[in-house]
Amino acid sequence: MAKKIFAFPNVSTPSRPVIFTDKCKGCNLCVEVCPVDVYIPHPEKGKAPIILHPEECWYCGCCVGACNIEGAIKFNWPLQQRGYWKNKATGKVSRV
């Protein structure tokens, strides 16, 4: 008898480490490189992976770096890590 397995993304956390765009081809390279298994492959071939454990993300960037399709996956930094420095003299904005 075949077993059915269900996976439910954790929606209780507001964090969403990455955003997949329409350019994603569902190759699952990002799923394979993630060291903490934030994603699982989508059951439908060609669709973007499912973010199953968003709160586990280390923001290491491996998934974004592994993707070969420009613009398919974008980092979504958590609010507390979006700070930046602004040079008063030059007005130049930078992250440190």
The answer to whether 38 touches 10, Cβ cutoff 8 Å, is no
Say how many residues touch ligand SF4, by CB under 6 A: 28
Binding track, positions 47-86, relative to ligand SF4; x by CB under 6 A: -xx-------xxxxxxx--xx-x--xx-------------
Rounded-to-5 percentages of helix, strand, coil across the chain = 15, 15, 70
- Residue 19 as a binder of ligand SF4 (CB under 6 A): the answer is no
Measured between alpha carbons, how far is 69 from 57 in angstroms, rounded to an integer? 21
Taking CB under 6 A as the criterion, the residue among 36, 71, 74, 85 binding ligand SF4 is 36
